[in-house]
Amino acid sequence: KKEKKASKDPNLPKRPPTAFFVFLESFRQQYKEDHPDVKGVAAVGKAAGDKWSKMSESEKAVYVNKAAQLRADYAESMAAYKKK
């Protein structure tokens, strides 16, 4: 017999994105403006990965700090969620 998968609580806070995914949000918008003919998700992801790997730590710091702030917000919302 197959076991039924437990249903997810819709009130559970979403996990925060990593620094790369914070970067990817802004990169994706800029990439779409610069290359309107490229429709593939893989092409955008590959271009973002290449740029991320070539960025210096100081350039990445903006996204790392934003991700840290989102993690702190997530921790607060999880604490409030667990109290209920």
CATH code for position 61? 1.10.30
Spell out the residues 6+ positions from residue 54 whose beta carbon is closer than 8 angstroms to its own.
Answer: none
pLDDT on residue 6:
80
Residue 32 within any structural domain of the chain: yes
Residue 8 within any structural domain of the chain: no
Split into its structural domains, the chain has a count of 1
Spell out the residues 6+ positions from residue 71 whose beta carbon is closer than 8 angstroms to its own.
Answer: 16
Q: Does the pLDDT value for residue 80 go beyond 90?
A: yes
pLDDT on residue 7:
85
pLDDT on residue 39:
84
Q: Does the pLDDT value for residue 53 go beyond 80?
A: yes
Q: Does the pLDDT value for residue 83 go beyond 80?
A: yes
Q: Does the pLDDT value for residue 1 go beyond 80?
A: no
Q: Which domain holds residue 45?
A: 19-83
Region of residue 82 (left: phi > 0; alpha: psi -120 to 50; beta: else): alpha
